[in-house]
Every structure is written in structure tokens, then in C-alpha cells.
Chains A and B, each alone.
Chain A
Amino acid sequence: MPAPQHPPRPQTARPAASAASPASAASPASKGARRTRRPAERQPSLDDPRIMLDRQISSDLYEPIPPYPTRTEREAEFYTLGDGEMFLNVGPHHPATHGVLRLVLKLSGEQIVDVDPVLGYLHRGVEKICENSDYYHVIDQVDPLEYLSSLFQEWPAVLSFEKLMDVEVPRRAEYIRVLSGELLRISSHILYMGFLALDLGGLTPILYGFIERDEIVEMLAALTGARMLFNYFRIGGVNGDLNHEFMSRLGDWMSRAGRQTEANAGLLNENEIFVRRMRGVGTLDRATALSYGVTGGNLRASGVPFDVRRAHPYSIYPELEFNIPTRDEGDSLARYLIRVDEIRESLKIIDQCLHNMPDGPVMAKLPRLLRPRPGRAWGAVEGPRGMLGVYAISDGSDQPFRFRIHDPSFVNLETVTTLLPGHLLADTMAVVASLDPVMGGIDK
């Protein structure tokens, strides 16, 4: 059925429009006549948004990107199209850009010539917010940054504050931190595997991964009270001891975790299409990785055995036995396989934590209001995506004077400008997903 036509409105409602249409202004018609006549609004009015859009599109078919004049030499070079090239705006609302990443690709056919990552769609000014909150409140401000592994974002913050205040953390609290952190690392890596497959078109691994991830999240909810933004670590310990539900869920899951990991990894490792899509794509060589400051699994996939847990030991990691898996290829497949190996190592660490868990308190005794002496401290931990660091400066007040967050995803994502050119459009998703960016941390 055709949509009902609206009756024509009286022209007096819009003086500008009636002035633009002399026909209706010249003949003030009676009520009966107006019903039969063609509506006067059909005449083009310049403030009609549709007409404005039409004029814009017909005058210059493709809207220039960026809409402002270029500001730097690099921008001018990037936004000048060569012969047969076009821009493709991937994101910020694209199904495979892991949040609100926007990549402006310069394409020649389907081949990527150049890429300009545009960030900041999720910027909330968390560093400034932290500088205006007291030391206890910083922890829940930094939580949503690395939203897939938020304990790892709390950890460097409390680490730097503990250094500022010379707090001794109880050993049981350190064990609980490592235990919950490694669980969360596994959960993050499982999601990584699933989303990588999803970006390459595989539907199933993400759903199998979510089963494991949900089990981990449920047990962490039993421990911390939240499923995603835990707000669990405290300056001088953790908020709450291990409880029965957590331990029983953990034991239940650990009995099948290794087997299930191998099964989930086997879905992808032995898939010929997946391996061919990943091998040799987005190869990050050792020198480039080091010059960019890439950390974490992405750096270890390029052959540099750098892991904060071993290079700058913190917590109880010196007492634990685990390997640092490295690979020499540096391509997307190596980055993926490093993550699978890290899941196995994390399972080993969890086992050791459970066997060596000491008794004792889980919080140090601290005053209600923290006023550390003036000074500066750097706390860094190895997160699932690389080195998460916090540089905190105290001026003696109850708020940090400066709170600088170093995020590994930001540094890792920078490399797409060197990794992508020369590849095809479909490789964008493989490379970006294999770098594992989390936009919450990148845009801060």
C-alpha cells in the first residue's frame, strides 16, 4: 500500500520558504482550492537538507578526507591520490576494527598503498581524571581502559603507588594477584583467538572461546564481585581473600583447561585456510619492532625474548617457573601461535600458585588518607598485550601530581602503517586482529 500523502501545510509557517516560492505567495488560495492543488513545498528551498546534500554531492562527488586542509607534510603526502587510487574509510563503525578504530586506507584496486590510523573516538581523558582523584580512587578510574583484562591495568597503578609509599605487600596478596592475573591473561588470549578467526570469517571458534572465557569470568566474579571491571587490586594488597566458590570453580575448570585449550587451538592451527591467510602476512621484523617500542607477544613473535615478568621482575614472578615463548617469523601466524603458547605457560603458573599459596593477610595496614612523600615511581607489568606501565609523580598531596599511562596496544597499533602497505584489503583484518589492540587503552 502506498504511504499516505501528507496534506500540504500552510505556507505561513515558514516565511523564508514562502518568499522563495512566488506562486503560493501571489495567490492566497481558499481552503478548498488548497486541497486539490499540488503542494507548494515541492519547490526547492535552499535550506532543505536533502537539497543541500544533493548540491554537495553533485559539486564534488567524493568528500575530501580529511575535511580540513592538510596540516603536516605526511598528511599532505597521504591525502594526495595517485593514479587509480582511492581512499577507503575502514571504521570507526566497521565490524572488524575491534571497537572504534578508524583506518583510512589508500587503495589501488584491493591493494593497500598507504594507511592512516585515526584515533581518539574513545578518548575520555582518564589520565587527567586520575590526577584529580585520590590514590584509592585512581584504581577504579583506570579499570575500563584495558577492558578485556582490567586487572592488568590496575596492577601497574598500584605497583607504582606502592613504590611511592614503600608499602610491603603481603605474600598471599601477591600470589592472589598473580593467580587472578594469569587467569585473566588466558581469558584475554582465548578471546583473541576467537576474534581473529571471526575477522577471517570463521564463525565457530569465538563461540567455543566464549565458553572458556565465561567460566573464567564467572570465577573471577566469585572472587571480586564483578565480571569485567573488577576493581580488585588495592594499594598494599587485594580486596578480599580467596573464597570457596572461586576455588571450586577454578579446580573444576583447571581439570579440563589444558585439554580444551588444545582443542580450541586445533580448530585453527590445523585449518589450512586459516594458516594460509596468516602465514607471511604483516611481517614485523626485529629491528622495526624494537624501534617502534613494541612489547608483549607481538615483540616475542619477532624473536626478541623480552617479557617484563623476567626482564624487570615484580611480584612473585622470580620464584615461578615458566618459559618465555618466542618465534622468529614475526608474521601474523607467529603472533597467534605465541598467544597459544602463552596460554599453556599461564596454566603452568596457575598450577604453581595454587600449590605454593601461603597463608596470611591479603592487605597491608594503611592509613585512610594516603599522602606519599614527593617523588616519582614507575610501575610496569606484563599484560596480555604487552608492557602496561604507570609513571606516577607525587607532590605530597593526596592526589597524584602526574599520572602517565603507557599502553601497549597504542604502540603495537602504530606498526600498522609499516605492516599493511603492499597487502590486500582482506589482510587488514588479519593484521589488526593479530596485533590485538584494545581501543579503550589506546584512546584512554
Chain B
Amino acid sequence: MSFATRTWDGMSLRARLLAILIPVAIVAALVTVGAILLLGPPFLDFLGANMPLVRFVVAAVAILLLTVPTAFILIYLELKVIARMNLRVGPNRIGPWGAAMSVIHGLKVLSKEDFAPTGTDVTVFTLAPVVTYMASVMSLLVIPFAPGLFGQDFNIGLLFFFSMGGLTVVGLLMAGWSSFNKYSLLGGLRSAAQIISYEIPLTLSVVGVIILAGSMSMNRIVLAQSGSMLDWFVFKQPLAALIFFIAATAEANRTPFDMTEADSEIVAGFATEYSGMRFGFFFFAEYVNVFIVSALTATVFFGGWTAPFNWPWAYNLNWFHPLSFGILGWVLIVANVVLVGTVLFAIAARLLGGREWGLWDALGLGFLFLLVAVAGLVGTAGFIAFDWVAGIVWFMAKTYFFVITFVWMRATLPRVRVDQLMGFAWKWLLPASLLNLFVTAAAVILTTPGGAR
């Protein structure tokens, strides 16, 4: 209570903060309540009248917020998996098993100086990471994570995806040009040449899938693969899947096609002059790209969110009415579950851990175990009861399989040379994808009764 009795100069720092924050909080609470009372009903009406808009804004914000933890997870995964493949330990200091390492990396780049070297074209230099990052985020918009859980379902979904993926190169080229550094320039030019070359086989390889699914909408493509594992397009279009995966590796600038930032040749390519959060945006965009490319591979060729076999997730839980307990009932249930569960798990922990753990340690551990157990139970129930929970699980399992494949490739393969890279795209991938397209089209025409429409 020192802020009530002392003068401003006599207060400690904490007291000063409290003296400012408490009145501000009171005023803010009053204003909020007043605003809700006055403006709430018309605002809700407005939202209800524009449901698609609201849905889009919520989805876009959710996807934008999704990218950062995704990048964190992928960076940590890459550090750890490559370390294991190299017979190293990897990050193991910050957080459990070093899991907070990439978060600390993110905070580090945030706290660095925002810096543009002399000679750079500052406007372009600043905009380049933004363009790259936004292109990545916008391609995530059309990917269906689960039935009904997607940013936007365009009927030109795949086309939108590829156009947004092609926009990435603009950011890289801007970075390479504006950095006033020859290494950056070489990196930017390499990225332009590479991504433009690999766009063509990438796009052509999915045309066969589009013919089979009859639509470019991602949801339609996933639905066309629903059923069992044998309905996945990878079994109908194996060559296309291979071409797509190779070209997507180049599209995401991953080893062995990471020409644009070949660190042993052109130092870091387009990112040579970048530091701080501008570099952070490039770094995040790279990993978001890996996630997107994996997600697209899973969606187009591996059935997206559909289960690999007829998984019995559609149980009917209609007997369960959450509101039937009432608020008091819920409070009682939760309190009892927490108390009884904590004590039970604490007893188990005490029995397992022996006397090394004191009473409070055992109780804390018991509470943690309870949380894990409840999360597992709720997750399992959700997986069984709701198709979108099961969809997310299958989708993420497939996506992270490909993410780990990318990481594996990075740990294993050296980098190809520029001319070999371009030769491979134009001499092998492009003819192969054209052949695949021709064979698919011919097969569709021959097998469709009454010919092609």
C-alpha cells in the first residue's frame, strides 16, 4: 500500500508501476463494460450479418498466428534430428530436451539491432522479407487441415497456391538486388532461375491429379481420395508424386537444391546482409515453406486429412449434453476431478520416486501428470468423437512425415551445382511430367464411358 501513503519520489519502482496500472485497469474495465453494453448488440448483429467475412478474418489471423509456432517446431526438429543423424546430442540446455531453443533464437533475432548496411536500397531491403513471408503465409491459406477447417476454399485452390509460391521469388530477388553485395545478387539471381524453372514441372505434375479429381479445389482433391489408403493419388500418379516432391524441394530451397543460400559458395546468398528480425522473417519463411510444401504433398498425393484406412472415428456421442450438468455441477465435477486426480497421481509419484521427493514435489508432479492424463483423455475422446480432430491428427502425421524426410535429406545429401540443377529440371523433370500428363489424359479419355466431356 506504499503508493497510497508515500509521495511519488519516495516510491519503489514496483509501487510506481502499481500506482499507474491500478487506475488504468479500473478505467479500462469500466470502459470495456460500457462499450459492451452500448455497442455489443449492434456489433453482434453486424457480425452475424457478415458471417463469411468474419470467418475469413478469423481464419487468416489464425493461420498467421500458426506460422510462428510451426517455424519454431520445425527449427527445433531440424536441429535435433540432424544432430542425431550426425551422432551429436543437439540442443539440450534450454527447456526440456532443449525444446525452447528455437524460441530463444526467435527472441534473439527480435532483440537485435534493426540494421541496413551502407549502400543498400533501404525501401526494397526492408520490404523483401515481408514479401517473402507474406507469400508463404498466403499459400497456407488454401490448405485444408481437417474437414471444414481451412482458410478459404477457392475453386482455383491449387492455382492460387502455385501463384503465391511463385511470389516468394520476388522477395528473394528484391533482397538480392537491394543488399549491395555481390554474393546476395548471385543468390537472388540463382533463386529466380531455380524457382522459375522448377515451377513448371511442379505445376505440370499436379495437372494429372486435377484431371482425376475434376477440380482444383483442395477440398475436392482431398474428398476424391477419401476411402481407404488405395484411393490416394500417390498410387494412381506415382511418377507425378515423385516429380512433385523433387520440384517442391527446389521450390522450398532445401538441400540438395539450396543454391540460393549455399553457405559454402555464396556465403548466405540473398540473406548475407540481413540480420535481426529481417533475417528472422526470411528464416521463418523458409521453415514455413517446408511445412507448406510437406502439407501440400500430403494433401494432393497422400489423402490430406483422410485416414489411411476406415478409422472408426464417427462414434455418436449424442448422449453427452454438456449443459445438462449446469454451472454448479461443472464446478463440482472439475474440482473433484482435480483434487482426487492430483492426490492419486501424487501417491503414485511418491511410491515410484521414493523418499527423494517431498510432499510438495509429489503433489506438483501429481498435478502435472493429471494434466497430461486429462489432455490425453480429452484428445482421445475428441479424436473418436469429432472428425475434425481426427483430421488434424492424420494431416499433421502425414505432413510431419514429409518434414522429417526433408530434414533427413538435408543431413544426407551434398548440394548440386547450378548447371546440373537447371539441366535436371529442363531435361528430365519437364519431359517426365509431360509424359505423365499425356498418359493420365489418355487413360481418362479411354476409361470414361462416352468419352471425355
Contacts and interface: CB of A to CB of B under 8 A. Distances in A.
Interface of A: 50, 53-54, 57, 86, 88-89, 94-96, 110, 197-204, 207-208, 211, 271, 273-274, 276-277, 424-429
B82 A203 contact: yes
Contacts of B256: 201, 273
Given A53-B118, A199-B264, A201-B262, A424 B412 contact: no
Given A88-B182, A277-B417, A204 B412 contact: yes
16 contacts: A57-B118, A57-B119, A110-B190, A199-B264, A201-B413, A202-B412, A202-B413, A202-B415, A203-B411, A204-B86, A207-B88, A211-B87, A271-B414, A274-B414, A276-B420, A277-B414
B264 A429 contact: yes
B115 to A, nearest CB: 12
A427 B267 contact: no
A203 B416 CA distance: 14
Contact of B264 (A53, A95, A274): A95
A310 B258 CA distance: 45
Nearest to A276: B420
A78 B413 CA distance: 36
Interface residues of B, number: 31
A429 B265 contact: yes
Interface string B247-265: 0000000011010001111
B415 A201 contact: yes
Contacts of B246: none
Given A96-B265, A201-B264, A208-B87, A273 B411 contact: no
B267 A94 contact: yes
Contacts of B264: 95-96, 198-201, 429
A425 to B, nearest CB: 6
Contacts of A273: 256, 413-416
Contacts of A199: 264
A23 to B, nearest CB: 27
B60 interface: no
B143 to A, nearest CB: 30
Nearest to B413: A273
Nearest to B266: A425
A197 B414 CA distance: 7
A332 B430 CA distance: 31
Nearest to A199: B264
Contacts of B262: 201, 426
B419 interface: yes
B331 interface: no
A204 B417 contact: no
Contacts of B190: 110
B332 interface: no
Nearest to B265: A426
Q: For B82, B88, B264, which residue has the most chain A Cβ atoms within 10 angstroms?
A: B264
A271 B413 contact: yes
Nearest to B419: A424
Contact of B186 (A274, A277, A425): A425
A429 B414 CA distance: 13
Q: For A89, A208, A425, A429, which residue has the most chain B Cβ atoms within 10 angstroms?
A: A425
Contacts of B265: 96, 425-426, 428-429
Interface string B389-419: 0000000000000000000001111111111
Interface in B105-122: 118-119
